[in-house]
Amino acid sequence: MCAEEPQNFREWLKSEAMGLGFARVGFASCEAFTQERERLDAWLAAGGRELFPYLDHPDRLNPERLLEGARTALVGFFPYARPEAVPGAVTGSLKLSRYLWGSDYHGVLKGRLQRLLAQAQARLPGLQGRACVDTAPLLERQLAVRAGLGWQGRHTLLIAGKGGSWGFLGVLLLDLELEPDPPFKGHRCGTCRACLDACPTSALSTFRLDPRRCLTTYTVETEKEPPPRVTAALARAGWAAGCDICQEVCPWNRGPVWGDPELWGGPSPLHTRPALALPLGTAQWQKLTRGTALRRVRHRHWRATLRRIGDRSEEPDASFVG
Nearest residue to ligand B12 on Cβ basis: 242
Q: In whole angstroms, what is the distance from residue 28 CA to residue 132 CA? A: 14
- Interface residues with ligand SF4 (CB under 6 A) are 153-155, 189, 192-195, 199, 201, 203-204, 209, 214-216, 243, 245-246, 249-252
**Which of ligand B12, ligand SF4, none interacts with 250 (beta carbon under 5 to 8 A by kind)?**
ligand SF4
**Which of ligand SF4, ligand B12, none interacts with 74 (beta carbon under 5 to 8 A by kind)?**
none
In whole angstroms, how close is the CB of 3 to ligand B12 at the nearest point? 32
Of 13 and 215, the one with the shorter C-beta distance to ligand B12 is 215
Give 10-18's long-range contacts (Cβ < 8 A, gap of 24+). 10/178, 10/179, 12/123, 13/74, 13/116, 13/120, 13/178, 14/74, 16/116, 16/119, 16/120, 17/74, 17/76, 17/116, 17/172
**Which of ligand B12, ligand SF4, none interacts with 193 (beta carbon under 5 to 8 A by kind)?**
ligand SF4
Q: Which of 41, 56, 134, 210 is catalytic?
A: 134
Of 41 and 181, the one with the shorter C-beta distance to ligand B12 is 41
In whole angstroms, how close is the CB of 65 to ligand SF4 at the nearest point? 30
What is the 3 state secondary structure string of 218-256? HHHHCCCCCCHHHHHHHHHHCEEECCCHHHHCCHHHCCC
Of 194 and 304, the one with the shorter C-beta distance to ligand SF4 is 194
In whole angstroms, how close is the CB of 117 to ligand SF4 at the nearest point? 32
What Å distances lie between residue 314 and 302, 305, 311, CA to CA?
A: 12, 11, 8
**Count of beta carbons in the 10 Å neighbourhood of residue 314:** 9
Of 72 and 165, the one with the shorter C-beta distance to ligand B12 is 165
What secondary structure does DSSP assign to 13-31, as a single string? Answer: HHHHHHHTT-SEEEEEE-P
Which are the contacts of 87, defined by CB distance < 8 A and separation ≥ 6? 95, 96, 97, 98, 239, 244, 271
104 a catalytic residue: no
- Interface residues with ligand B12 (CB under 6 A) are 36, 39-40, 43, 52, 55, 97, 99, 133-134, 138-142, 152, 155-158, 165, 167-169, 207-209, 211, 214, 216-217, 221, 242-244, 246
Q: Which residues are catalytic?
A: 134
